[in-house]
Amino acid sequence: MIIFKLAVLILISALNFSLISCDKPKKPNVLFLLADDAGFEIGAYLNKIVQTPNIDALARRSLLFEKAFVSVSSCSPSRSAILTGQPIHQNGMYGLHNAENHFNSFDNIQSLPKILKNHNIKTGLIGKKHVGPSEAFKFDFEATEEQHSINQVGRNITKIKLLVREFLKNSSDSQFFLMVAFHDPHRCGHVTPQFGPFCERFGSGEEGMGIIEDWHPIYYQWEQVQLPYYIQDTEPARRDIAAQYTTISRLDQGIGLVLKELESAGRNRDTLVIYTSDNGPPFPSGRTNFYEPGMNVPLLMSSPDKKRWHEATYALTSHLDLLPTFLDWFDIPQQNLDENEVTSLTGKSLLSLLDHDPPNDDTTAVFGSHNFHEVTMAYPMRVIRNKRYKLIHNLYYESKFPIDQDFYVSWTFQDILNRTISKMGIPWYKTLKNYYIRPEFELYDLNKDILERQNLAYKKDFLKLRNEMEEKLKKWQEDTNDPWRCEPHAVLEDKGDFKGNPSCLTLAHDEL
Ligand SMILES: *[C@@H]1O[C@H](CO)[C@@H](O)[C@H](O)[C@H]1NC(C)=O
Ligand SMILES: *[C@@H]1O[C@H](CO)[C@@H](O)[C@H](O)[C@H]1NC(C)=O
Ligand SMILES: *[C@@H]1O[C@H](CO)[C@@H](O)[C@H](O)[C@H]1NC(C)=O
C-alpha cells in the first residue's frame, strides 16, 4: 500500500510538473459527494429514462461499484456510520437526529473531521449534516441546516456551487476534505408539500417557487418511468417516480457544477472523488429496510491518477469501508490514531481496488445494524450479506414493520393503503400484510431470488447455512460490542459477576 501511495504521489507530481510547471506539487484531497435517499436511477447504472449526464460522466472516470452496501438504511444513522467507521450500535446514533427524535452519537466519539483536523487537513461540509452532537462532528467550515435553510444548502445548486467555490479558494494552499451532502433527491411532501413530493418544483422558476439560476428542470412522463420491481405499477406510484426523477436531475446538475468548480480551481488533478448515497430510495423495501433496494447503493470512486476508470467491480463493499479509505488516502495509519481515536474499525480501505479486485472469496460478507428511524419506529434488525446469501435477523419480529411520516404521506404508500383497505388488489410483488409482518429470520438466495421473496431460513436444507451465518453475525456483533447481541431471547449480563465475561442468559422463551 505504501508503495502504491508513493507511486500516486510521484505520478501527481509528474503531472503537475509537466502540465503547469509553476505549480508546486499539492498533496491529495478528497471530495465526497453524498446524495440523500438516492438509488440506481442513474444512466450509468442502466436507467434509460432519467437524465444524469454529469453523474454518468463521473462514472466514466470512476471505478463503479455494483455491490456497495450501507450499514444502516436510515439518514442520520448512516451518516454517523460513514463518519465514524462504526455501526450505529457502537457509535450511539440509533435513529434520526431531528429535534423531536433527539438521537445523538456518544459525545466523545472520534469522527472523521476530528481526526483530519488533528492531521492538519482542512475539512468542509456543505449541505445536510443531520448528525450530532454538533461538536463531535465539527468541520472547519460548515454551511448546513444548522446555519441555513436545508433547501438552500442542500437543493439550491447555485448556492452550493458558490459555497464550493469559496471553500476551494480558501483551501488553495491546503490539503482538504470537502463533503457536499445534497438534500436531493429526498422527499419533502411531509414538510414542504407546496414544492411537490420531492421538492421538484423548488426553484423551478414557476410562480411562487423561486428560481435556481443554474438549474434546467427536466420533467418526466409518468407513463414512461422505468418501474423498479419493488414499486407497484399504478399511476400514483409512477407519478411519484416521475417527480423523483426531476429531483435526481437537479442533483445531477449540482454534481456537474461542483465538479466544474474542482476543475476550475485546478484541484481535480489531486483529488479523490467519491459519490454515494446515505441509503436506498424512500419507496417500499427501500429506505429503512435491509432488503436490497434499501441496502445496496451506488458508489463511484474516481482517482485522479485514472486508475480503473470506466470499470466496474462486484467486490462486496460496505460504507464502513469509507472512513478507512479516507484515512488511507491521507496516509493516516490507523495504529497512529491517539487512544481516543477510533480503535476498532471493522471496515477496510478500498484503495487497493483501484489496482485490482480482491480474489474471489465466498466467505467475505458485509454487515448492518438498524435500531430506529424515527423515535417511534423501534425495529432493530441485524444483517449479514455475502456474495450469494443474506440473513436478516428481525429482533422485534413480533411487532409490525413501522412506516415513517415522510413515506406515509407519499402517493406510493397512500395508494398501497387505499387499495388494501378497499380490497382492490395491488399490482405489486408483495402485500401490505407480508410487508408489515416479518419472521424473526429471513434468509435469501440472491442468485436465484434477487426479489427476496422465498424465505429459506426455516427450510431444513438451509439450517446449517443459517447457523453458520448467524454465528458470523454474532461474532461481528461481539467484535463491535453490540448491546443488542443477546436479543430477543436472552439478556446480556456484562457487569458485576459477568465483568470480563459477557454472557447471554436465557429468558426461557422456548419453555412458554
Ligand atoms: C473563507 O474564508 C473566510 C475568511 O477566513 C471565511 O469568512 C469564510 O467563511 C470561508 N468560507 C469558506 C466556504 O470556507
Ligand atoms: C438560490 O441561491 C441563489 C444564490 O444564493 C439565489 O440567488 C436564489 O434566489 C436561490 N434560489 C432559491 C429558490 O431560493
Ligand atoms: C386515497 O384515498 C383517499 C380517500 O379516498 C383519497 O383522498 C386519496 O386521493 C387516495 N390516494 C391515492 C394515492 O390513491
Closest listed residue to residue 320, CA positions, set 341, 289, 282, 350: 350
Whether ligand 1 lies within 6 angstroms of the CB of 166 is answered as yes
Distance 125 CA to ligand 1 centre (A): 12
Choose the residue to mutate in 122, 140, 142, 170 for probing ligand 1, maximizing ligand atoms within 8 Å of C-beta: 170
Calculate how far, in angstroms, residue 416's C-alpha sits from the geometric centre of ligand 3.
10
Q: Give, using CA atoms, the residue closest to atom 5 of ligand 1.
A: 170
Write the residue with the smallest CA distance to atom 1 of ligand 3.
Answer: 418
d(CA 480, CA 203): 44
Strand ranges of the sheet holding 389-394, from the earlier edge strand across to the other edge: 365-370, 381-386, 389-394, 441-445
How far, in Å, is the centroid of ligand 3 from the Cα of 422?
A: 11
In the chain, helix, strand, coil percent, each to 5? 35, 15, 50
Kindly state the helix (H) or strand (E) to which residue 272 belongs, with its residue range: strand 271-277
DSSP state of 82: H
CA of 284 to the centre of ligand 3 (A): 18
CB 165 near ligand 1, within 6 Å: no
Cα→Cα distances 341→88, 108, 260, 336, 467, Å: 17, 9, 35, 9, 34
141 close to ligand 1 (CB < 6 Angstrom): yes
CA of 165 to the centre of ligand 1 (A): 11
| Ligand 1 geometric centre to CA of 126 (Å) | 12
Buried b (16+ CB within 10 A) or exposed e, 417-446: eebeeeeeebebbbebeebeebeebbbbeb
| Of 150, 155, 159, best ligand 2 pocket probe by most atoms within 8 Å of the beta carbon | 159
Q: Is 472 within 8 Å of 384 (Cβ atoms)?
A: yes
pLDDT at 36: 98
Mark whether 486 is an active-site residue. no
Kindly provide the b/e burial profile for residues 236-275, where b requires at least 16 CB atoms within 10 angstroms of the residue's own CB.
Answer: bbbbbbbbbbbbbbbbbbbbbbbbebbeebbbbbbbbbbb
**What residue's CA is closest to ligand 2, atom 4?**
159
Quick one: which ligand is closest to 180's CA? Answer: 1
Q: Which of 174, 316, 185, 315 is nearest to 250 (CA)?
A: 185
Ligand 2 binding pocket includes 370 (Cβ within 6 Å): no
What local confidence, expressed as pLDDT, does residue 361 receive?
Answer: 80
Pocket of ligand 3 (CB under 6 A): 236, 411, 414-415, 418
Closest CA to ligand 3's atom 4: 418
Q: Is any atom of ligand 2 closer than 6 Å to the C-beta of 158?
A: yes
Ligand 3 centroid, distance to 418 Cα (angstroms):
6
Query: Nearest 5°: phi and psi at 394?
Result: -90, 105
**Which of 414, 415, 420 is the best mutation target for the ligand 3 pocket, counting ligand atoms within 8 Å of the beta carbon and taking the most?**
414
| Ligand closest in space to the Cα of 417 | 3
Amino acid identity of 287?
R
**Count of other CB atoms within 10 angstroms of residue 404:** 20
Look at phi and psi of residue 205 and say left if phi exceeds 0, alpha if psi is from -120 to 50, else beta: left
Ligand 2 near 192 CB (within 6 A): no
Which residue do the cell numbers 438516492 mark? 38
Each residue's pLDDT expressed in tens, for the chain with a length of 512 residues: 444 444 444 444 444 444 443 444 457 999 999 999 999 999 999 999 999 999 999 999 999 999 999 999 999 999 999 999 999 999 999 999 988 899 999 998 889 999 999 999 999 999 999 999 999 999 999 999 999 999 999 999 999 999 999 999 999 999 999 999 999 999 999 999 999 999 999 999 999 999 999 999 999 999 999 999 999 999 999 999 999 999 999 999 999 999 999 999 999 999 999 999 999 999 999 999 999 999 999 999 999 999 999 999 999 999 999 999 999 999 998 866 655 545 578 999 999 999 999 987 878 999 999 999 999 999 999 999 999 999 999 999 999 999 999 999 999 999 999 999 999 999 999 999 999 999 999 999 999 999 999 999 999 999 999 999 999 999 999 999 999 999 999 999 999 999 999 999 999 999 99
Measured in whole angstroms, how far is the alpha carbon of residue 266 from the centre of its chain? 28
Report which ligand 1 atom has the smallest distance to the Cα of 124: 14
